[in-house]
Amino acid sequence: MVLGALNTARDRAMVLAMLLGGLRHCEVLGLRPCDLSPGERRVFISEGKGGHQRLIPVPAQYFSAVGDYLDRERGRGH
């Protein structure tokens, strides 16, 4: 499986955003913490293709991966 080949929690979260939410790589790279709404299970894309904004529903699995990334690689305070 693709996810098993990834080395970091960051990479896993990024790939899950693309696989589960259909985000483009440039959209994933532009995500900020304020763009994530775990309670609503949505991600806000401020500048998508053609400069359009959109809200993307994403399964809880993605937000769990983001939490793992923040805990393991960034420390929650960052």
Query: What residues contact 39, with CB distance under 8 A and at least 6 apart?
Result: none
- Cα(26)–Cα(39) distance, integer angstroms: 24
Please report, for the domain that includes residue 30, its CATH number: 1.10.443.10
In the chain, what is the straight-line distance between the N-terminal and C-terminal CA atoms, in Å? 30
Structural domain span for residue 48 = 3-74
Enclosing H/E stretch for 2 = none
Residue % of the chain over a pLDDT of 90: 64
User: Number of structural domains, the chain?
Assistant: 1
- Tell me: pLDDT of 68 over 70: yes
Decide if 72 contacts 16 (C-beta within 8 A): no
pTM for this predicted structure: 0.81
